[in-house]
């Protein structure tokens, strides 16, 4: 029966290919929409959960949160490194981690910090940075530029790759992070002192340029915030207790020089503000899903209607409805299974294709991640591929062979 | 032996055909003659169980085949009847051998396929798609599909309709040869071929068309 099913399918290659293609397009759009929206939401929540306070210069809370959590947007400005010493001396913190950003390597942000920022991240190769001008690169950066421990990278001033290069002060890659599926995969980490050293050097060049020519590019550089020696962009804090948290929030929050935020709260507010658009996205996803499932079932039903003559003919020569039913179930199940596999592959290839674009926004999509609901969607697609067979053959079985 | 008892079939427009009682003996061949629409093909459909009569019975060796459930009638047709349809009823997109092998789904042994196709002169077409065959070639494929299961009853609806006289004679000879101890009932319009059969039955004399209103009253 299986070989006859294959032969029967071979006679309808083009039609089956078109059917499978329609199903693949419909199902993969649904899978992609669901997967992206879920991974983006999860990425935001997971990243924000690690620190309870972020202290930076006064300004936008959202900008501070997005900058320190996802390495997106520009830093608000700088605060003295001494804030960290103050926090450590206070005895109210488990960790106070410096954060500085302002340079980049091929558009991947370079984060000046200390190894504690990466304490929960594992190294794929090499070791953690210790000295100035040493760097640990994120998984995607290492993969994209084929970086290994011992390689040297030239950073650019500013967060776009077209800034002036710090060619005289290359960073030496000493380690590569394991994949984290977060913004960390698309960043370069180095000691804060590296940033200070690069900018001391850059400012010397800058002063010379200033004397020679005061052009427009130069003015842009003036607007760019970068940490001078003894300055950082923010401090990421894990407070010791709830009371310490409240005291620190109160102390730094009340200061006019500083901004203290809870990243969870800020990002939740951001999410709440975009809640309507998120709901719209979910509704659109649901509509796409329902429409696609409808399309799949209509295609499957039309295919079966096309096969009515063949079914009637088999009945006329005496092939039982049970055998005919099984024959078409096998054919439609094979088509459905192929469509399922291709839909999953297609959706996750698209995910892989757009992950580079999304990672630049600080959210790293895992193309290999499959959610249970995706399997459920695929099972629906499979069920809809075979359901019309059962319905139509059952209906035809009730008629005389000649009527059928 | 096939017995037709008080048989009446009704069509969807309400009209119908009533058949007089008749009998087809085992080991004999019959030519059904008569004008178009008189009920020759319908009789073959009733005997094979393709159609269900509104009244009366078709008995084959004493068993009321027409009263059997659908599945039983399907089994009767696949096991005991070789039916050559007027319009062939072949899977057009499949090859000749696939059309015959289709019967293997119901356990029919098709190992004699090559010999049979050779006898019918279409062995060379075995792997050709049916939609690439001429009308005459398709007719022979339909005959091969009917004969491959060595049926006890051969029903042939205009089996020579698409063939020239000489080929028609050869085909009838083949059918008669394969009918052997069984029963062959063939519909034909060709008066020259009719004498080759043991008996000729004028359907105008045994089938009566009943118009819609009367058929409903009859029912």
Residues A373-396 have pLDDT tens digits of 889 888 887 887 777 777 777 776
- Residues of chain A in contact with residue B98, where contact means CB-CB under 8 angstroms, are 4, 7
Measured CA to CA, the distance from residue B27 to residue B209 in angstroms comes to 30
Smallest Cβ distance to A319: which of B85, B90, B105? B105
Which pLDDT band holds residue A149 (cuts at 50, 70, 90)? very high
In sequence order, what are the beta bridge partners of A156? A104, A165
pLDDT of residue A98: 94
Residues of A in contact with B86 (CB under 8 A): none
Residues 6+ apart with CB under 8 A from A215: none
Helix, strand or coil for residue A278? helix
Most confident segment among A42-46, A302-306, A313-317, B154-158: B154-158
Which of A4-18, A156-170, A229-243, A374-388 tops mean pLDDT?
A229-243
- Round to whole Å and give the CA distance between A260 and A252: 6
How far B144 CA sits from the closest chain A CA (Å)? 13
N residues, chain B: 219
Distance from CA of A340 to the nearest CA of B (A): 27
Q: A165 and A68 in one domain?
A: yes
- Look-up of token digits 């169980």: B49
Are B151 and B143 a contacting pair, CB within 8 Å? no
Same-domain pairing of A39 and A76: no
CA distance B145 to B124: 16
For B146, nearest residue in chain A (alpha carbons): A317
Q: Using CA atoms, how far apart are residues A255 and A248, in angstroms rounded to an integer? A: 11
Summarize the confidence of residues B31-51 as an average pLDDT: 90
Most A CBs within 10 Å: which of B74, B81, B103, as the mutation test of the A interface?
B74
A267 domain residue, yes or no:
no
Region A225-237: mean pLDDT is: 76
Q: Name the β-bridge partners of A103.
A: A110, A157
Task: Evaluate if residue A231 carries a pLDDT over 80.
Answer: yes
Query: Which among A233, A261, A289 is the end of a domain?
Result: A261
Q: Which residue has the higher pLDDT, A305 or A218?
A: A305
**Model confidence at A21: pLDDT above 60:** yes
* Residue A19 scores a pLDDT above 90: no
Nearest C-alpha neighbor of A262 from the set A81, A115, A65: A65
Q: Do both A254 and A359 map to the same domain?
A: no
Mean pLDDT of chain B: 88
Are B56 and B7 within 8 A, CB to CB?
A: yes
pLDDT band at A165 (very low <50, low <70, confident <90, very high): low
Q: What is the pLDDT of residue A281?
A: 67
Query: Would you say B171 and B200 are in contact if contact means Cβ atoms under 8 Å apart?
Result: no
Tell me: pLDDT of B9 over 80.
yes
For residues A249 and A246, give the distance between their C-alpha atoms in angstroms, rounded to a whole number: 5
| Dihedral angle, C-alpha A271, A277, A279, A285, nearest 10 ° | -120
User: CA of B145: which chain A residue's CA is closest?
Assistant: A317
Could you tell me what percent of chain B has a pLDDT over 70?
97
Give residue A104's domain range.
53-261
pLDDT at position B99 is 92
Q: How many of the other CB atoms lie within 10 Å of CB of A357?
A: 9
User: Does A311 reside within a domain?
Assistant: yes
Q: What is the pTM of this model?
A: 0.62
Distance in Å, alpha carbon of B138 to nearest chain A alpha carbon = 15
First to last CA, chain A: 22
DSSP B193: T
pLDDT of A78: 87
| Contact at CB, B78 and A319, closer than 8 angstroms | yes
Comparing CB atoms, the residue among A314, A322, A402 nearest residue B102 is A314
Which of these ranges, A88-92, A282-286, B62-66, has the smallest mean pLDDT? A282-286
DSSP state of A274: T
What's the confidence (pLDDT) of residue A221? 42
Inter-chain CB proximity A317 and B105 less than 8 Å:
no
Lowest-pLDDT range, A123-137, A160-174, A243-257, B65-79? Answer: A160-174
Domain end among A261, A287, A307:
A261
Domain-embedded: residue A78: yes
Query: Is the pLDDT reported for residue A224 higher than 50?
Result: no
- A368 occurs within a structural domain: yes
Q: Closest Cα of chain A to B48: distance in Å?
A: 9
- Do A324 and A240 fall within a single domain? no
> ∠A145-A151-A157 over CA atoms, to 5°?
70
The yes-or-no verdict on residue B197 having pLDDT over 80 is: yes
The better pLDDT of the pair A273, B19 is held by B19
Phi-psi region of A352 (alpha: psi -120 to 50; beta: other; left: phi over 0): alpha
Residues A213 and A323 in one domain: no
With b for 16 or more beta-carbon neighbours within 10 A and e for fewer, the B163-173 pattern comes to beeeebbbbbe
Q: Is residue A243 part of a domain?
A: yes
Cα–Cα distance, B214 to A178 (Å, whole number): 88
On the question of pLDDT at A134 being above 80, the answer is yes
Confidence of residue A318 (pLDDT cuts 50, 70, 90): confident
Q: Give the CA radius of gyration of chain A.
A: 29
- Give the per-residue pLDDT at A362: 60
pLDDT recorded at residue A399: 60
Mutate to test the interface with B, among A308, A313, A318 (most CBs of B within 10 A): A318
CA distance B38 to B144: 28
Residues A59 and A40 in one domain: no
In chain A, residues with a C-beta closer than 8 Å to the C-beta of B90 are 313
Whether residue A215 has pLDDT greater than 50: no
Q: Give the chain A residue nearest B78 (alpha carbons).
A: A318
User: Does residue A280 sit in the same domain as residue A361?
Assistant: yes
What is the predicted pLDDT for the residue at B123? 93
Average pLDDT rounded to a whole number, residues B155-162: 86
- A261, A294, A319 - which closes a domain: A261
Q: Mean pLDDT score of chain A, rounded to an integer?
A: 80
- A→B interface, C-beta within 8 Å: 1, 4, 7-8, 11-12, 310, 313-323, 327, 397, 400-402
Is A186 found in the same domain as A125?
yes
- Amino acid B212: pLDDT: 75
Q: What's the pLDDT score for residue A397?
A: 63
Residue A126 has pLDDT above 90, yes or no: yes
Residue A291 forms part of a structural domain? yes
* A298, A164: one domain: no
Q: Is A160 within 8 Å of A220 (Cβ atoms)?
A: no
Which of A12, A317, A322 is the closest to B78 by Cβ? A317
- Residue found under tokens 């106070």: A96
Using pLDDT thresholds of 50, 70 and 90, give the confidence band for residue A218: very low
Contact of B126 with B97, CB cutoff 8 Å:
yes
Q: Residues with Cβ < 8 Å from A365, sequence gap 6 or more?
A: A35, A36, A39, A40, A43, A181, A351, A354, A355, A358, A359
pLDDT category of residue A127 using cuts at 50, 70 and 90: very high
Mutate to test the interface with A, among B49, B91, B99 (most CBs of A within 10 A): B91
* A319/B70 touch (CB, cutoff 8 Å), yes or no: no
Confidence of residue A404 (pLDDT cuts 50, 70, 90): very low
Q: What is the pLDDT at residue A22?
A: 77
A-B contacts at Cβ under 8 angstroms: 68
Strand stretches in B11-89, DSSP E: 16-19, 22-24, 29-33, 55-60, 63-64, 81-84
pLDDT at A214 over 60: no
Burial environment of residue A319 by CB neighbours within 10 A (0 to 12, 13 to 18, 19 or more): buried
pLDDT at A209: 47
Contact (CB<8Å) A315/B51: no
A94 and A228 co-located in one domain: yes
**Tokens 């924000």, residue?**
A48
Of the candidates A252, A232, A248, the residue with the CA atom closest to the CA atom of residue A114 = A232
Number of domain units in chain A: 2
Cα–Cα distance for residue pair B186/B175, rounded to 1 Å: 9
**pLDDT given at position B181:** 83
Q: Which of A4, A11, A310 sits opposite B105 (nearest CB)?
A: A4
Pairing of strands B183-187, B153-157: parallel
Alpha-carbon distance B38 to B156, whole Å?
Answer: 16
Does the beta-carbon distance from A313 to B74 stay under 8 Å?
Answer: no
**Cα-only R_g, chain B:** 17
What domains, with CATH codes, occur in chain B?
2-218 (3.40.50.300)
What does the pLDDT look like over B184-196, one tens digit per residue? 999 988 888 889 9
- B9 pairs with which residues across the strands? B17
Tokens linked to B126:
């075995």
Residue A21 and residue A58 in one domain? no
Q: Do A102 and A7 belong together in one domain?
A: no
Average pLDDT over residues B30-40: 89
Q: Which residue has the higher pLDDT, B85 or A308?
A: B85
By CA distance, what is A317's nearest residue in B? B78
Residue A141 included in any domain? yes
CA distances from A292 to A29, A197, A381 (A): 8, 56, 9
Sequence-distant (≥ 6) Cβ neighbours of residue A322 within 8 angstroms: B71
Instruction: Specify if A266 maps to a domain.
Output: no
Instruction: Give dist(CA A266, CA A262) in Å, integer.
Output: 6
């Amino acid at each position: 029966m299986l070989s006859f099913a294959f032969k029967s399918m071979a006679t309808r290659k083009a039609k089956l290919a078109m059917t499978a293609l329609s199903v693949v397009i419909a199902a993969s759009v649904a899978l992609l929409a669901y997967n992206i929206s879920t991974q983006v939401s999860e990425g935001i929540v997971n990243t924000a959960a690690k620190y309870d306070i972020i202290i930076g210069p006064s300004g936008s809370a959202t900008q501070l949160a997005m900058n320190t959590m996802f390495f997106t947007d520009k830093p608000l400005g700088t605060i003295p490194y001494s804030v960290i010493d103050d926090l450590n001396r206070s005895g109210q913190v488990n960790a106070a981690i410096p954060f500085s950003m302002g340079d980049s390597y091929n558009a991947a942000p370079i984060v000046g910090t200390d190894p504690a920022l990466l304490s929960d991240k594992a190294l794929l190769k090499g070791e953690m940075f210790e000295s100035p001008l040493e760097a640990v690169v994120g998984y995607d950066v290492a993969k994209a530029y084929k970086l290994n421990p011992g390689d040297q990278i030239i950073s650019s001033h500013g967060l776009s790759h077209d800034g002036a290069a710090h060619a005289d002060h290359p960073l030496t890659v000493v380690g590569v992070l394991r994949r984290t599926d977060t913004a960390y995969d698309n960043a370069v980490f180095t000691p804060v002192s590296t940033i200070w050293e690069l900018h001391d050097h850059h400012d010397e060049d800058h002063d010379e340029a200033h004397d020679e020519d005061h052009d427009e590019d130069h003015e842009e550089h003036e607007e760019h915030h970068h940490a001078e020696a003894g300055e950082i962009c923010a401090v990421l804090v894990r407070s010791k207790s709830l009371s310490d948290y409240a005291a620190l929030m109160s102390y730094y929050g009340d200061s006019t020089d500083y901004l203290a935020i809870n990243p969870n709260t800020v990002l939740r507010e951001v999410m709440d503000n975009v809640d309507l658009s998120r709901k719209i996205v979910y509704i659109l996803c649901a509509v796409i899903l329902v429409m696609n499932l409808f399309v799949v079932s209509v295609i499957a039903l039309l295919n079966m209607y096309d096969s009515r003559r063949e079914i009637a003919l088999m009945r006329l020569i005496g092939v039982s409805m049970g055998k005919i039913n099984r024959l078409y179930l096998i054919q439609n199940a094979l088509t459905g299974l192929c469509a399922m596999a291709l839909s999953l592959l297609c959706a996750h290839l698209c995910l892989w294709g757009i992950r580079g674009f999304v990672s630049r926004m600080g959210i790293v999509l895992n193309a290999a991640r499959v959610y249970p609901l995706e399997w459920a969607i695929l099972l629906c697609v499979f069920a809809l591929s075979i359901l019309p067979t059962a319905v139509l053959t059952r209906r035809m079985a009730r008629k005389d062979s000649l009527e059928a | 032996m096939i017995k037709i008892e008080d048989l009446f079939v009704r069509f969807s427009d309400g009209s119908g055909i009533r058949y007089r009682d008749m009998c087809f003996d085992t080991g004999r061949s019959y030519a059904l003659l008569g004008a178009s629409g008189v009920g020759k093909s319908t009789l073959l459909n009733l005997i094979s169980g393709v159609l269900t009569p509104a009244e009366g019975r078709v008995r084959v060796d004493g068993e009321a085949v027409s009263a059997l459930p659908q599945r039983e009638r399907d089994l009767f047709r696949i096991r005991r009847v070789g039916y050559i349809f007027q319009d062939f009823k072949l899977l057009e997109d499949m090859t000749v051998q696939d059309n015959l092998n289709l019967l293997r789904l119901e356990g029919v042994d098709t190992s004699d396929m090559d010999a049979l196709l050779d006898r019918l002169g279409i062995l060379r077409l075995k792997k050709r798609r049916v939609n690439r065959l001429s009308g005459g070639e398709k007719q022979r494929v339909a005959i091969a599909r009917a004969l491959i299961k060595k049926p006890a009853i051969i029903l042939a609806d205009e089996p020579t309709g698409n063939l020239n006289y000489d080929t028609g004679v050869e085909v009838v000879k083949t059918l008669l040869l394969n009918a052997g101890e069984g029963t062959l009932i063939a519909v034909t319009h060709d008066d020259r071929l009719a004498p080759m059969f043991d008996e000729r039955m004028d359907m105008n004399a045994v089938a009566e068309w009943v118009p819609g209103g009367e058929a409903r009253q009859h029912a």
